[in-house]
Amino acid sequence: MIKVNELNIPTLDDLNFTNSKVMVRVDINSPVDVKNGKLLDDSRIRAHVDTIRELVNKGNSVVLISHQGRPGDNDFTDLSEHSRLLQKYLDLEVEFVDDVMGPYARERIKNMKSGSVILLDNIRFVSEELIEASPLQHSRSFLVKRLSPLFQGYVNDAFATSHRSQASLVGFPLVLRSSAGRVMEREVSALAKVFNEEDSPKIFIMGGGKVLDSLRIIENLVKRRLADRILTGGLIAELFAVAKGLDLGKENLQVLEKVGVLGLVTRARKLLLSGAPVEIPVDFKVEREGKVYEEPANKVNGVIKDIGSATVGIYSSFIRDAKTIVMRGPMGIIEDERFRESSKILLRNSMESPGYLIIGGGHMISLLGGDVNVSSSKMHVSTGGGALLLFLAGEKLPALEALDISAREVLKK
């Protein structure tokens, strides 16, 4: 069992599925190249290989379900390319079933041989999946009623979607013996460590562009006294610099206004006044007329694109002394090579620090070469974006709650 907050989540070790038919909810939702519809990155597909192989090796037949994109968006595609990539990484035949819960899908599932693998099509082709509803309500959906009688168990390995209360995530655990898969287990155990008092000092390095999300996390971290220091970069650093009264110049205020976050200055100021341990950069890399300059934070003249080298030095000294380090969001506009260095140095120093490191979000992972399977006893790379943020902010994740309900109500029967 993984114990996280007040939840008890069964793992594959607790249920030990053998020679059974098991449904596995994965998150292989991947970025799509809008020009040709091809997948741009397959790290989420690779992440689930261990869970699937383990189940297959124990004689189980495995039926995988996942979503891809949202209806109406460019990345809302079928899962045929995903199945080819899964087959390649698993080195096992993966049958792609171009149906979700109709007679064809049910017939293919009924006729599965032991140790075989099926990938059903995009679960969001089913309208019930698109509603956020309670586990009880979803357990009565057509999706759950049609598919669950074909299975002996359900495994949720989709940590990156665990902040959604959708049928494929919260409905099945109420009617099937259910556990977390290895990705989910790895994610939840590693992230729960952040809440372990003994691993202090805890340092959060927060950058990137999701300013409102970051502010929400910082408010929660402060309220729950989870962070000893919060080192800011990216747009959130600019917000706090303004809140501290620094004059960043018209151009940078315009950037904050354009992304709709200038109105958050008062909230940031309130946090600072309440004694929040938020550090802001002492210098920035700015771009002016196509050239790059490093300038002190109180004398900025140009558009801020990254944190400066004095800040990198100071942040690195905090990193060296930390027991737990969480990194989410880059320090600068890393798409431009000239502004990638600070994030890379902080990432390298965090990896070399004796502290435990958690890295999340697509941009930081891209600095690691897109490999989400590099977790070790010293470091955890999260597959999650929104889910990671919400978990760290102390909010409840519906998919985890559903597994806890399952442990109490289905396993005990």
Ligand X SMILES: O=C(OP(=O)(O)O)[C@H](O)COP(=O)(O)O
Compute the CA torsion angle 205, 300, 341, 202 (nearest 10 deg).
-10
In the DSSP assignment, the letter for residue 112 is P
From CA 81, how far away is CA 55, in angstroms rounded? 22
Q: Binding segment for ligand X among 157-165, 173-181, 199-207, 328-336 (CB under 6 A)?
A: 157-165
Is residue 335 marked as binding?
Answer: yes
* Token reading at 78: 């079928």
Is residue 146 marked as binding?
Answer: no
302 binds ligand ADP (CB under 6 A): no
Pick 237 or 389: Cβ nearer ligand X: 389
For residue 325, which amino acid is it?
Answer: I
304 binds ligand ADP (CB under 6 A): yes
Partner in contact with 304, chosen from ligand ADP, ligand X, none, beta carbon below 5 to 8 Å by kind: ligand ADP
Single residue of 234, 277, 308, 398 touching ligand ADP by CB under 6 A = 234
* Token reading at 275: 């004694």
Is residue 164 marked as binding?
Answer: yes
Neighbours of 313 (CB within 10 A): 12
156 binds ligand X (CB under 6 A): no
Bridge partners of residue 179, in order along the sequence: 155
SS3 at position 65: strand
Residue identified by tokens 């006294």 is 225
362 binds ligand ADP (CB under 6 A): yes
Pick 202 or 210: Cβ nearer ligand X: 210
From the CB of 189, what's the least distance to ligand ADP, in Å? Answer: 21
From the CB of 168, what's the least distance to ligand ADP, in Å? Answer: 24
For residue 345, which amino acid is it?
Answer: I
Task: Identify whether 330 is preceded by a cis peptide bond (ω within 30 of 0).
Answer: no
164 binds ligand X (CB under 6 A): yes
Task: Pick left, alpha or beta for residue 395 (phi over 0 → left; psi -120 to 50 → alpha; otherwise beta).
Answer: beta
10 binds ligand ADP (CB under 6 A): no
Closest CA to 329 of 309, 311, 346: 346
Partner in contact with 27, chosen from ligand X, ligand ADP, none, beta carbon below 5 to 8 Å by kind: ligand X
Is residue 29 marked as binding?
Answer: yes
Is residue 380 marked as binding?
Answer: no
In angstroms, what CA-CA distances link 167 with 91, 110, 409?
30, 21, 18
Chain residues 87-146 in contact with ligand X, contact rule CB under 6 A: none
Single residue of 83, 161, 178, 324 touching ligand X by CB under 6 A = 161
Pick 160 or 242: Cβ nearer ligand X: 160
From the CB of 389, what's the least distance to ligand ADP, in Å? Answer: 8
Q: Which positions lie near ligand ADP, rule CB under 6 A?
A: 207-210, 234-235, 304-305, 329-330, 332-335, 361-364, 385
